[in-house]
Structure 1
Amino acid sequence: MQQHHHHVNYLELPARNLAQTKAFFSQVFAWHFTDYGPDYAAFSNSGVLGGFFQSDKTSNTDNGAALVVLYSSDLEQTLAAVETAGGKIKQAIFSFPGGRRFHFIEPSGNELAVWSDN
């Protein structure tokens, strides 16, 4: 992977339960994982490289965390997949200038969003 000066290169998020979080993102978004010991799992096939580290904390906009926003070409299908895999919808699909999106909480308690331009 080519590195670009000053581009976002890696993203790390907390995870209360690494196994559940890995299963969720594998099932819903087809992310791939590489374990580095019992407390860290790196992910790929997500658009940016990153990892989850074992922590009791969560990343949530209610406590001022940055929001990770994923893209979907079929927002309703992705919302259904999130729910089927055990994610909780925090904010139902809504419109904004440029598209639509929803927010969800994954099994470890982190908030993410998914958007679509259609």
Structure 2
Amino acid sequence: PAADAAAARRTAARLGAAPLLERVDALIRRGRLAEQRAPGSSPLTAREQDVLRLLAAGRSNRQIGEELYITGKTASVHVSNILGKLGAASRTEAVAIAYREGLIGREEAVG
């Protein structure tokens, strides 16, 4: 079930289907369907890690896009993927989870 939920989430994100993405994320959270990972490993891609660092520094999607030379929409998709992978309901919660799980350090979380 976790793999199916992750596949549905990736498809919704790729299609830019924001309402569907929100519902799939809610289902993943409620059903605790986040895929398990090895201790110390990151569920995020290298680009998502870059976006997470800027998110932790309080940057908007537009600012993230400008800094990483991507569009604000692409930044938004990365942020949505981060929220889903971390099982977070908000940008702030994603940063808190990332900090707690050691995905970012204190200097990044403070901005």
The bucket for the TM-score relative to the shorter chain is under 0.3
The structure whose residues are more often helix, as a share, is 2
Q: TM-score, normalized by length of structure 1?
A: 0.27
The structure whose residues are more often strand, as a share, is 1
| Larger Rg computed on CA atoms | 1
Q: TM-score, normalized by length of structure 2?
A: 0.28
